[in-house]
Amino acid sequence: MTSKPQLIEPRTLKGFRDYPPALMIPREEVLQTARRVYRAHGFAPIDTPALEYAEILTGKGGEESDRLIYRFKDHGDRDVALRFDLTVPFARFAAMHIPKLGTPFKRYAMGPVWRGENTSHGRYREFWQCDFDTIGTTSNAADIEAALVIHELLVALGLERFEIRINNRLVLNGLLQEAGLSDKSVAVLRALDKLPKVGMDAVLEEMSGHGIDREAGRKVLELASSTGEPTEILERLALAYPGNETLGEGVRRLRELFATVAACGLPAERFRLDLSIARGLDYYTGTIYETFLLDLPNIGSICSGGRYDNLAGLYTNQKLPGVGASLGVDRLLAALEELGRLGKRETPAEILVTQFDAASLSQYFRIASVLRKAGLAVEVYPEAKKIGQQLQHAEKRGFKLAVIAGPDELASGRFKLKNLLKRTEEAFGENELAEAAKRELAGEVTVS
Amino acid sequence: MTSKPQLIEPRTLKGFRDYPPALMIPREEVLQTARRVYRAHGFAPIDTPALEYAEILTGKGGEESDRLIYRFKDHGDRDVALRFDLTVPFARFAAMHIPKLGTPFKRYAMGPVWRGENTSHGRYREFWQCDFDTIGTTSNAADIEAALVIHELLVALGLERFEIRINNRLVLNGLLQEAGLSDKSVAVLRALDKLPKVGMDAVLEEMSGHGIDREAGRKVLELASSTGEPTEILERLALAYPGNETLGEGVRRLRELFATVAACGLPAERFRLDLSIARGLDYYTGTIYETFLLDLPNIGSICSGGRYDNLAGLYTNQKLPGVGASLGVDRLLAALEELGRLGKRETPAEILVTQFDAASLSQYFRIASVLRKAGLAVEVYPEAKKIGQQLQHAEKRGFKLAVIAGPDELASGRFKLKNLLKRTEEAFGENELAEAAKRELAGEVTVS
């Protein structure tokens, strides 16, 4: 016996995963839905490389973030790194291309990003993001549209029980000015983030450790955690501080947003004013969005974003304000799975054309092509195995219908169409088959 | 004056490029078309990580190929590498998942791959591949389907003048056996590759340098470079060596393929028998495909593949024969550009809703949402700039229609629909607008 070479163990890196069909079919649906919604609003697709000069990517999210970046020397000894989000490469892209492309510029981008995260909390080191942004305008129209796009996206994904929490940093900044706490904004925002978890007293205690007066702190926290009708809260704020321009502008923009939501006839309960959300302490400067699934509040926000003053200030002197949001594709997929909303299908095709006899292959291919021309997705089983085995394969993979064409059927030109779910069958002529299949599939989702 | 921090130069790495909308819109169309065609034939999507253990990827294409791999140590000091194609990760995937998923297994995969290539010939270091394969069966049905899928894909991409060159390595192997040259196959295949460029004499000269008898060599080369009707060539070969089983099986499989092409009513001139193509010397063992655009013969094959005996032999003892092909997405995009088939549009939306007055914003959003509900892609201009400026933006980006709704139009409820290509306009009520827009766009491609 000759010695065989040792096998290489087939495995993926820790924090990385394969997408087999049962997971990839839903991911493609999510991305295709996002693509359709973004395009319907005039966002254009762009892509940037996975690898960038390290200096483009590092130093954007602080030391913690730099530590997570996959960074190495390439063949030309260049210091390179894998992108850790789609925003920083977009900023670099904007600095290079906006002079030619012009503004306003609306883009979407979808792709994997890489972070050497601790994997203990089910986090992946490779995961997909799916962003949209409007840059080159400070107009509130772009902020309002971002909220409408998030809403339309989640509805298009088949979700109903969700809420988009909306804030505007200008309101918070105005409140801090009024409380004489503008120079303590970082400490207050951090405290605000903890409020739902630890309660008012613990937060005030922490704030006084930062030299913040308890009464001033309490006033900001109480206003920022107001609940109720957005228009009422905004009215109350505007009346409380009529002279504060920062707060006034934030209130004006939020009012216009909620008014447009109402004018478009969208369900009010899905748009909630939440003055406590800050989403990072420095980056966002205006409207802020977070999106929660009511049935899975603990998975966190599945679509977040906001308005920023200057996208690409590190790379260009051209000031590029903008607003946008990012759909967390893998978090959404995990949520859909938990909600039992992921199908179990392992094939995108609905119909399996079985083979009785390899000599009739071209007839099976012809039948399949007739069905495909009618817009159906069809697999021809590649071998003339026993029909029982072929039907088992069809059921395991999630086919809905099977066409059976033995010698009698091929001779008579009438083929059996078997409904694998209902376990019924009926014979049809070749020119009736597609319509019959569509009737059987009616109510089922088809590829198109 | 305070000193400003130095700007970081915004640039991409050599061999990497951004996809702005004018390039990305066509790339999305190509990928979406491929996805639709692959799915219609029952291929299911999968994805694998960009990063793998280096041992999974190295040693697959020889030293030359290893030299091109991006390889580095990750945060856990693991030896990791970026995938250089989609086939090797698929082999690793198959070894891990096929025991559970079962066979036959049909998959497609699309994504970027990375190679530290010399960039002098316009080669990119990051480029997209788009593969489909059927594994776990030796049935000729899968080989035939691969040819049909390539054909359907190119037609769906809007191409007509192309040819799929098809061979079967078994025919070549049979010819080599008959000529007593089985042990010289590498030298003969290499010579065969050069035949069209350097001619018969030069090739025979080179072959005799490898100890190949001129007459034996000439006979193989002449048979392998036969041109004409596939059925006639195959008939001639079968008659010349009736006792050669290897050649006989190759001829049988090719005959069945060309017969099915005819039975499906596909244009015969797009399927050409070319006994000289070998595509790599070791990997493929049966049917081989290459695809050339008749108007751009020099760009090389845009979709290539073949049958192999054992996909995942390095990782598992389970033998996985298969057949598949890979669409070179970036090469195809370059070809479409050269053929003048790429649009110049920088937006996926057809209609720009202009803004007259920021106070009427919710009305503009409402008009846009009415059009979107009819399946149209619509952008609302985010600022109430001069209409002339907004229309300039629309023309530069490639919008086809604009809706103009000033105070009079909003009061009367009749909106101007402007055709930006024909420079015509007409007024419509809100409930007529979508149908009117569709009439204006009739004959134009729309997103959907």
- Residues A305-314 have pLDDT tens digits of 999 999 999 9
Question: Cis peptide before B267, with omega less than 30 degrees from 0?
Answer: no
Contacts of B349 in chain A (CB under 8 A): 39-42
* Residue range A43-64: mean pLDDT, rounded: 92
Distance, CA of B360 to CA of B369 (rounded, Å): 15
Instruction: Write out chain A residues lying below 8 Å of B314, CB-based.
Output: 5, 7-8
Domains recognised in chain B with CATH numbers: 21-338 (3.30.930.10), 351-441 (3.40.50.800)
Per-residue pLDDT for A372 more than 60? Answer: yes
Average pLDDT over residues B133-140: 97
Interface A–B counts its CB contacts (< 8 A) at 312
Give the distance from residue B202's alpha carbon to the nearest chain A alpha carbon, in angstroms. Answer: 38
Comparing CB atoms, the residue among B18, B53, B76 nearest residue A46 is B18
DSSP A219: H
Identity of the residue in A264, A317, A448 whose CB atom sits nearest the CB atom of B362: A264
Tell me which chain B residue has its CA closest to the CA of residue A96: B10
Query: CB-hemisphere CA count at 13 Å for B120?
Result: 1
* C-beta of residue B267 within 8 angstroms of C-beta of residue B158: no
* pLDDT surpassing 50 at residue A149: yes
Q: Which of A25-39, B267-281, B303-317, B363-377 has the lowest mean pLDDT?
A: B267-281
pLDDT score at B444: 56
Contacts with B14 from chain A: Cβ below 8 Å:
76
Higher local confidence (pLDDT), B96 or B63 = B96
Is the confidence at residue B145, as pLDDT, over 90?
yes
Residue B448: predicted pLDDT? 37
The whole-number pLDDT of residue B1 equals: 47
pLDDT at position A233, please? 95
**Does the structure show a pLDDT above 50 at A220?**
yes
Q: How confident is the model at residue A8 (pLDDT cuts 50, 70, 90)?
A: very high
Q: Is B83 on the interface with A (CB under 8 A)?
A: no
Three-state secondary-structure class, residue A66: helix
B84: contact with A, CB 8 A cutoff: no
Query: A382 CB near a chain B CB, below 8 Å?
Result: yes
Task: Say if residues B93 and A17 touch (Cβ distance below 8 Å).
Answer: no
pLDDT of residue B446: 43
- Of all helices (H) and strands (E), which one includes residue B71? strand B71-73
| pLDDT tens, position by position, B430-445 | 999 999 999 999 855 4
User: What confidence tens digit (pLDDT) does each residue in A151-180 have?
Assistant: 999 999 999 999 999 999 999 899 999 988
Confidence of residue A4 (pLDDT cuts 50, 70, 90): low
Is the pLDDT at A447 greater than 60? The verdict is: no
Tell me the mean pLDDT in the region A121-136: 93
Stretch B373-396: mean pLDDT = 96
Task: Kindly determine whether residue A18 and residue B44, on different chains, have CB atoms separated by under 8 Å.
Answer: no
Determine, for residues A8 and B314 on separate chains, whether the beta-carbon distance falls below 8 Å: yes
Give the mean pLDDT of A390-394. Answer: 96
Nearest CA in chain B to A73: B72
Pick the residue of A4, A25, A41, A93 with the most B CBs within 10 A to test the interface with B by mutation: A41
Q: Does the beta-carbon distance from B347 to A42 stay under 8 Å?
A: yes
CB contact under 8 A, A264 and B363: no
Report which secondary-structure segment, H or E, holds B322. Answer: strand B322-328
Whether residues A141 and B358 touch (CB distance < 8 A) is answered with: yes
Mean predicted confidence (pLDDT) in B338-355: 93
Strands A162-168 and A271-273: parallel
How far, in Å, CA of A329 to CA of A261, rounded?
25
Residue of A nearest to B12 (CA): A52
Q: Which residue in A13, A27, A381 is closest to B51 by CB distance?
A: A13
Backbone φ and ψ of A399, nearest 5°:
-65, 150
Mean pLDDT for A16-26 is: 97
B104 inside 8 A of chain A by CB: yes
Q: Give pLDDT, residue A443.
A: 57
Using DSSP, state whether B237 is helix, strand or coil.
helix
Of A88 and A122, the one with more pLDDT: A88
Contact A315 B21 (CB under 8 A): no
B370 in reach of chain A (CB within 8 A): no
Instruction: Give the pLDDT score at B199.
Output: 86
Mean pLDDT of B408-427: 94
- The DSSP code for A438 is H
A62: left (phi over 0), alpha (psi -120 to 50) or beta: left
d(CA A220, CA A188): 9
- Residue A120 near chain B (CB below 8 Å): no
Interchain proximity B383–A47, CB inside 8 Å:
no
Mark yes or no for CB contact A141/B361 under 8 Å: yes
Mean pLDDT, rounded, of chain B: 92
Predicted confidence band of residue A1 (pLDDT cuts 50, 70, 90): very low
Tokens of A296: 């899975």
Instruction: Give B212 to chain A, closest Cα distance, Å.
Output: 31
Tell me the three state secondary structure of residue A17: coil
> Which of A20, A75, A141 faces B380 most closely, judged by CB atoms?
A141
**Cα–Cα separations (whole angstroms), residue A118 to A14, A64, A68, A291:** 10, 12, 9, 24
Q: Does B263 score more than 60 pLDDT?
A: yes
Q: Residue A79 forms beta bridges with which residues? A: A73
Is A28 an 8 Å CB contact of chain B? yes
Mean pLDDT of A77-101: 97
> Chain B residue closest to A35 (CA)?
B28
pLDDT at residue B445, as a whole number: 46
Residue A54 CA to residue A74 CA, distance in Å, equals 11
A20 touches B: beta carbon within 8 Å: yes
**Residues A250-297 pLDDT 10s:** 999 999 999 999 988 999 999 999 998 876 657 899 999 999 999 998
